């Protein structure tokens, strides 16, 4: 049996941030992830300056693919406008690996199946024993499944369905484009260029609304890539998109049960207007670590429900998520 102070299940931004802060406080931490890093993570990879601040990361200190956009091109049904908004783009394949290495924890490739509470500790798959357990395993997190599913059930109305691809592409247009509610999609589509000749394109919508309409997010793919071609943004004929589902921010009742915590997508914290999940994952990782180190409560109230502010974001939230 391998014994450590804390085991973090999942090495994405939520898990690596929590592990990093626990290590900084002197705890012995093991991160278990079913994937070998660097691993592929479906994500458009746009990142807010606030997330960079929470990661204590200056752009000039990040050695891998990184771009900054000072505006966003937005299409909303028939309206097209440009909004000033400072955002960054990274490649998750690189970024998550960088953050996990920086955390300085022991990282093991292991798919977690069974977790038991024994004498105040947690025993994972009969192999790892710890006092603190952090569930950072995303939508399929086994810590959520074991301890939180009944305490904190997820709402199907907040489940997203996405479809996307990141690929090597010598893009000509270096700006970020978003199309909301195109062709009846209950969500939006994106074009996000990456440094060093990569591009991410994709779309996402609310799974429930798609189901009610008898459709699937992949039904919108063909029209979307045809539009990218028509606009001269992407000319490409080798698409192999993949899908992933995650949950937007609901009313989180319980994210801690004794010394078991859940963070990031395992809780369902992505914003309800732009479905941004990296920033909330990082914040929750910090908050969980702080609760463990300082013995304080773990509350998620400071994690915002919306990426933007004001009327436009409320309208977007209403349009994407609908009445709750």
* Interface ranges with ligand FAD (CB under 6 A): 9-15, 32-35, 39, 41-46, 111-112, 136-138, 140, 142, 162, 164, 202, 204, 244, 246, 264-266, 270, 276-279, 281
Q: Cβ closer to ligand FAD: 132 or 232?
A: 132
Shortest Å, Cβ 133 to ligand FAD: 12
- Pull the structure tokens for residue 179: 């199309």
Shortest Å, Cβ 139 to ligand FAD: 7
Task: Tell the residue number behind the tokens 């998109």, with chain if given.
Answer: 241
| 144-150 contacts, C-beta under 8 A, 24 or more apart | 144/262, 144/266, 144/267, 146/115, 147/115, 147/257, 147/260, 147/262, 148/254, 148/255, 148/257, 148/260, 148/262, 148/266
Shortest Å, Cβ 166 to ligand FAD: 9
Q: Cβ closer to ligand FAD: 27 or 288?
A: 288
Q: Cβ closer to ligand FAD: 27 or 217?
A: 217
Shortest Å, Cβ 204 to ligand FAD: 6
Q: Cβ closer to ligand FAD: 42 or 57?
A: 42
Q: Cβ closer to ligand FAD: 54 or 164?
A: 164
Sequence-distant (≥ 6) Cβ neighbours of residue 264 within 8 angstroms: 10, 12, 13, 14, 15, 136, 138, 277, 280, 281, 284, 285
Q: Cβ closer to ligand FAD: 250 or 277?
A: 277
Shortest Å, Cβ 247 to ligand FAD: 9
Shortest Å, Cβ 84 to ligand FAD: 19
User: Which residue is at the shortest CB distance from ligand FAD?
Assistant: 277
Shortest Å, Cβ 168 to ligand FAD: 18
User: What distances in angstroms separate CA 119 from CA 108, 116, 129, 131, 259, one per listed residue?
Assistant: 25, 10, 11, 10, 12
Would you say 167 and 180 are in contact if contact means Cβ atoms under 8 Å apart? no
- Pull the structure tokens for residue 109: 């490739």
Q: Cβ closer to ligand FAD: 218 or 232?
A: 218
Q: Cβ closer to ligand FAD: 66 or 295?
A: 66
Q: Cβ closer to ligand FAD: 4 or 162?
A: 162
Query: Which uninterrupted H or E stretch holds 21?
Result: helix 13-24
Our CA angle for 215, 220, 226, nearest 5°, is: 160
Tell me how far apart the alpha carbons of residues 89 and 47 are, in angstroms, rounded to a whole number.
6
Shortest Å, Cβ 22 to ligand FAD: 15
Give the residue among 268, 275, 245, 282 at the shortest CA–CA distance from 14: 282
CA end-to-end distance (rounded Å), the chain? 46
Shortest Å, Cβ 42 to ligand FAD: 4
Tell me how far apart the alpha carbons of residues 57 and 52 are, in angstroms, rounded to a whole number.
5
- 5 CB-side CA count, 13 A: 12
């Amino acid at each position: 049996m391998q014994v450590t102070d804390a085991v973090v299940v999942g090495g994405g931004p939520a898990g690596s941030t929590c592990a990093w802060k626990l290590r900084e406080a002197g705890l012995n931490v093991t991160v278990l992830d079913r994937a070998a890093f660097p691993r592929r993570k479906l994500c458009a990879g746009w990142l807010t300056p606030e997330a960079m601040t929470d990661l204590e990361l200056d752009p000039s200190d990040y050695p891998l693919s990184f771009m900054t956009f000072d505006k966003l091109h937005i299409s909303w049904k028939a309206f097209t406008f440009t909004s000033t908004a400072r955002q960054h783009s990274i490649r998750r394949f690189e970024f998550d690996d960088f953050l996990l290495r920086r955390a300085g924890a022991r990282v093991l490739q292991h798919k977690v199946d069974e977790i038991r509470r024994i004498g105040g500790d947690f025993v994972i798959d009969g192999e790892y024993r710890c006092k603190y357990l952090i569930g950072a395993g995303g939508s399929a997190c086994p810590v959520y499944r074991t301890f939180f599913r009944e305490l904190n059930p997820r709402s199907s109305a907040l489940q997203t369905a996405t479809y996307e691809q990141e690929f090597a592409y010598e893009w000509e247009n270096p700006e970020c484009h978003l199309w909301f509610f195109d062709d009846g999609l209950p969500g939006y589509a994106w074009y996000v260029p990456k440094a060093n000749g990569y591009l991410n394109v994709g779309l996402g919508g609310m799974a429930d609304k798609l189901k009610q309409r008898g459709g699937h997010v992949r039904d919108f793919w063909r029209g979307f890539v045809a539009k990218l071609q028509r606009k001269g943004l992407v000319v490409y004929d080798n698409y192999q998109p993949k899908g992933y589902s995650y949950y937007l921010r609901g009313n989180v009742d319980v994210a801690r049960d004794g010394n078991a915590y859940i963070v990031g997508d395992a809780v369902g914290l992505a914003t309800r207007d732009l479905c941004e999940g990296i920033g909330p994952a990082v914040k929750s990782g910090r908050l969980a670590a702080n609760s463990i180190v300082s013995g304080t409560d773990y509350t998620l109230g400071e994690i915002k429900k919306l990426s933007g502010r004001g009327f436009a974001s409320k309208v977007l939230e209403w349009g994407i998520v609908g009445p709750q």
